[in-house]
Amino acid sequence: MTGSDNSGNIERYSSGGRWEEDFGYSRAVAVGEYVHVSGCTAIVEGNLAHEGDPHHQALAAFGIALDALEHFGLGTSDVVRTRMFITHARDADDVGRAHAELFAETPPAATMVVVAGLIDSRMLVEVEVDAYRGRRTS
């Protein structure tokens, strides 16, 4: 599902996820040259994937974010900033390795922080992605 404001300057994309409607947010919002993707976890088809595996949860979460960017015709090379929220410092290397697998060729600015918890205690990581969709010179 998509939508835009009356001026066409803001485009919203919904992936149909449960919490998007319940909590009133969009999976991604494009504003001008930028696309901002909301926090993504490893919830796939309503169920948590890869329970207990921070590396694969991170890959799944980034996959959901990248699927949202694909709606706007963007991919990993367009990502300019990522944020990773992890629930245990011990998972930093596994989540960082997942990040490197996806973004090593075009590394974005990145932040990783340890948080007290996520909405479901089985979730080990949540990610956010910002991308730039400006004019390309090549």
Domain range for 40 is 2-132
pLDDT for 96 beyond 70: yes
State how many domains the chain has: 1
In a domain, 55, yes or no: yes
Q: Specify the CATH number for the domain of residue 50.
A: 3.30.1330.40
Q: Is residue 84 part of a domain?
A: yes
> Is 137 within the bounds of a domain?
no
- Whole-model pTM? 0.91
Q: Mean pLDDT, to the nearest integer, of 22-42?
A: 96
* pLDDT for residue 42: 97
The verdict on residue 58 lying in a domain is yes
Q: Which residue has the higher pLDDT, 137 or 79?
A: 79
138 pLDDT band, cuts 50/70/90, is: very low
Cα 56 to Cα 97, 108, 119, 121: the distances in Å are 10, 20, 18, 16
- Among 78, 83, 69, CA closest to 134: 78
State mean pLDDT over 93-122: 98
